[in-house]
Structure 1
Amino acid sequence: MARARDDVRQALRRQVADRAEALWEVALRLHADPEYAFAEHRAAALLTSELERAGFAVERGVAGLPTAFTARSGAGGPVVALLLEYDALPGLGHACGHNLIAAAGLGAALALRAVPETAGAGTVLAVGTPAEEGGGGKAVEVEAGVFDDVDAALMFHPGVYDWARAPLTAQVQYRVAFHGRAAHPTGNPTEGVDALAALVELFNVLAALGRRLPEASHVQGIVTHGGTATNIVPEYAEGLFGLRAATTRALQELTDRLRACAEGVALATGTTTEVERATVRYEHFQDSEPLSERFAAHLAHSGIALTPPAPGVYLGSSDIGNVSTRLPAIHPFVAIMGADGSDHTPEFAAAAASSRAREVLLAATQALACTAADVLLEPGLRRAAWARHRAEAAA
């Protein structure tokens, strides 16, 4: 049985290798034509056409999102989902390497359909997930039921580290507004209630709070409206605040503290306040260790060794967190440039079309295909992944 499983993995690697040039061409086409949140029309068309040509049943516009899609091969359970990201960063293009994520998910899905043992073992679901950089396509898809009945969600992310799992925090943005009363600052100063002064005081209170927050928690704000003229006491002021925390529960606690701070400042300054969520909430990432260990083992076949992330280092947030808190999921990082670099930079955008990126794409696609095959063919692995997932959720 083990030998037969090895034969399946070898067949999947060959399928990916045979498609290496075509997958790299997809990655380069996406890289050369960056599109942004919920407007990735050409990217979605390219990917769905490739999947449809291979025999996948494609559904476009899923979850009410014009550039989201699912592509299904096979029937019944188990079900393994491969996640394709393809949005870019305004002004920077593919400086997060989503062109590689999309090509890898595409290649793994095509390989799985082409190998009889995996094509007939259940359902392969390629999920097009727009707007990871802002808008949270995966979060919307989760709520719409796209991942209902899925046994595992798999993707990789290019980066500057070779890490088996992603230390991704929960994050959300809130708009905080203060309402006061306009007046002339010299003609009738006592009639004014300064909304901007209230907003500034909120920044002061949050700065003091920040010194007592736990690791990975912080609040960062900007002023989005501070008045209209220097000779008018501002009757309205508004700030936008980004909140992050190590877990979704901690983020909720931080949100409650932001609201309490705003209400306290309003009471002290005689203003009124509104605190409203401004973005989709990204939940923290919950790694499926049984699955991420399999991915790491398969990636090692290509000579890339993954390690645990460095303690105390966090790499931002992603809507993969919303998927991972519902079902077993992986989001390993594989380096396409040195650790002295950073994503969301012009240098990383260049790296996403480099010869190293091409090598990583081939290796990661093969590892994704083999990990997906393990999910489809090994009931014990699925049970272990779900048991770990439920234990994490209950902790």
Structure 2
Amino acid sequence: MKAAAVKVVSPETASSGTASPAAVERSVSAALERWTPEILGLSHAIHADPELSGQEFRAVKRVSRLLRSAGFSFDGPQPLLPASFSARFGTGELVVALCVEYDALPAIGHACGHNVNAACAVGAAIALASVADELGITVKVLGTPAEETSGGKVDLIGEGFFEDVSLAMMAHAGGEDVIGGSSLAMGMWDVLYEGRPAHAAAAPSQGVNALDALVVAQTAIALARQQLPPGSVVSLIVTEGGSAVNVIPERARASVEMRSPSIKNLRIIEERVRRCLEAGALASGSTLKVTPTGNAYAELTQDRFLSEAYRDAMVARGRAVAFNEEPVASTDMGNVSQLVPSIHPLLGYDVGGAAHHTAEFAAHGSSASADRAVLDGAFGLALAASAAASDPRQRERLLGGRSR
């Protein structure tokens, strides 16, 4: 039997319609306690049934079912992007978006903890729904697929689903609690060289060696690294390099990933790498085709007020939260943060010292420690949004679309 939608009205609610912080905290805690079985059940179900980027249809059904049972309605029209959705609760002018990630990795499942991310965001949304009227907010939940590959949040930005959003939030699974960190801007390319095959011993001069083009390009990129902006990372793997040793390779293919502390510097790196790739084509006589794979990710900028409010709430739950501004990895939440004030804290639980994107990390995703992180993170996100909605200065800032 599904629980009824939670609606808590406190006697401490002021006549203006704004609840006191103590009343909000009690309502948020009560909502989370009431919905704990469903929230943790969602985390466990997604963890046990991993789906790859852009194919997270069962996860969407599970999340949608829970949101409907909590009283959320689904927007019309829905996003065109597969495995995405948009739902909301409330009618307040301040729109709080919770971003729900749920994609897994090939072969190793939820090795980035997106089941924890999803359940935490949904839990925060349900908790905020319990105080939506008192705070004058609309709680918007966006299903954001394919964070690991093409960047679904960027597509949802393009479709206009962040246009009414005042602030955006999510927490990401990790081995420790960290707030304030940035991420690296990132671009990814598929690189294809095409030449002409020939017998490698009988008629090598009649061939055009596509693999030679790739070797030249890879060498040029390696030499260029010294002159790239500080913090730049260029990674390249060869995915195709010929079919037989006695045949001049007609095709060679590579995947290139470029990262930088800012989208501005990323564009510089992309231009340098492209010239290196063109050098390979010129030297070998091959043709070159460069195709972006997915959307470019911008760097993450976390809102200071929301970060501090989140940290205060997590400390109140007995958690130690570190503050860090160093860039770590890459996320399409960075693109959201360039559009609206956002937070994307790391949500810590016992992962046995394992690193992200390993089978060992995935094994800890439905543990008691992970479950506690889901509920604590939901509490922290809900209270951070509540603090901003209740503070007249911050509310005005967020409604005006200004970052601090």
| TM-score (ref. length: structure 2) | 0.89
> Equivalents in 2 of 1:98, 1:360: separation in Å?
13
2:29 counterpart letter in structure 1: R
Corresponding position: 1:221 with 2:214: no
> Equivalents in 2 of 1:102, 1:182: separation in Å?
49
Partner residue of 1:240? Answer: 255
Q: Percent of aligned pairs with the same residue? A: 35
2:34 counterpart letter in structure 1: D
Q: CA deviation at 1:326?
A: 0.8
> Equivalents in 1 of 2:293, 2:23: separation in Å?
50
> Equivalents in 2 of 1:76, 1:153: separation in Å?
15
Gaps of 5+ in 2: 1-13
Partner residue of 2:336? Answer: 323
Partner residue of 1:183? Answer: 198
> For the structure 1 residues 3 and 196, does the alpha-carbon distance in structure 2 shift closer, same or farther, using more than 3 Å as the test?
closer
Partner residue of 2:181? Answer: 166
Corresponding position: 1:336 with 2:355: no
Alignment of 1:21-36 (within 5 A): 21-36=37-52
1:167 counterpart letter in structure 2: S
Query: Is contact 1:155-1:368 (8 Å) kept?
Result: yes
Greater shift, 381-390 or 232-241, is seen at 381-390
Deviations 1:44-63 (A, max 9, x none): 11111111122211148833
Deviations 1:131-176 (A, max 9, x none): 1122211111111111002110011111013211233111121122
Q: CA deviation at 1:6?
A: 2.3
Q: CA deviation at 1:374?
A: 2.3
- Partner-residue secondary structure (3-state), 1:49: helix
- Partner-residue secondary structure (3-state), 2:141: strand
> For the structure 1 residues 339 and 251, does the alpha-carbon distance in structure 2 shift closer, same or farther, using more than 3 Å as the test?
farther
Deviations 1:30-82 (A, max 9, x none): 21121221211221111111111222111488331232111111124111111
Partner residue of 1:41? Answer: 57
Query: Is contact 2:121-2:170 (8 Å) kept?
Result: yes
Q: CA deviation at 1:130?
A: 1.3
Alignment of 1:145-156 (within 5 A): 145-156=160-171
> Equivalents in 2 of 1:22, 1:228: separation in Å?
52
> Equivalents in 2 of 1:220, 1:60: separation in Å?
41
Query: Is contact 1:108-1:366 (8 Å) kept?
Result: yes
2:242 counterpart letter in structure 1: G
Partner residue of 1:128? Answer: 143
> For the structure 1 residues 339 and 322, does the alpha-carbon distance in structure 2 shift closer, same or farther, using more than 3 Å as the test?
farther
Partner residue of 2:297? Answer: 282
Q: CA deviation at 1:383?
A: 4.5
Query: Is contact 2:112-2:361 (8 Å) kept?
Result: yes
- Partner-residue secondary structure (3-state), 2:96: strand
> For the structure 1 residues 8 and 61, does the alpha-carbon distance in structure 2 shift closer, same or farther, using more than 3 Å as the test?
same
1:322 counterpart letter in structure 2: N
> Equivalents in 2 of 1:386, 1:60: separation in Å?
23
1:369 counterpart letter in structure 2: A
Partner residue of 1:105? Answer: 121
Query: Is contact 2:212-2:280 (8 Å) kept?
Result: no
Greater shift, 336-345 or 48-57, is seen at 336-345
Greater shift, 225-234 or 91-100, is seen at 225-234
Corresponding position: 1:269 with 2:284: yes
Deviations 1:374-393 (A, max 9, x none): 233334124456889657xx
1:8 counterpart letter in structure 2: V
Q: CA deviation at 1:113?
A: 1.8
2:116 counterpart letter in structure 1: L
> Equivalents in 1 of 2:143, 2:401: separation in Å?
26
Alignment match of 1:194 (pick from 205, 209, 228): 209
- Partner-residue secondary structure (3-state), 1:171: strand
- Partner-residue secondary structure (3-state), 1:196: helix
> Equivalents in 1 of 2:99, 2:19: separation in Å?
29
> For the structure 1 residues 18 and 171, does the alpha-carbon distance in structure 2 shift closer, same or farther, using more than 3 Å as the test?
same
Corresponding position: 1:94 with 2:110: yes
Gaps of 5+ in 1: none
> Equivalents in 2 of 1:60, 1:166: separation in Å?
35
> For the structure 1 residues 351 and 189, does the alpha-carbon distance in structure 2 shift closer, same or farther, using more than 3 Å as the test?
closer
> Equivalents in 2 of 1:373, 1:192: separation in Å?
67
- Partner-residue secondary structure (3-state), 2:20: helix
> Equivalents in 2 of 1:206, 1:237: separation in Å?
16
> Equivalents in 1 of 2:285, 2:239: separation in Å?
21
> For the structure 1 residues 259 and 381, does the alpha-carbon distance in structure 2 shift closer, same or farther, using more than 3 Å as the test?
same
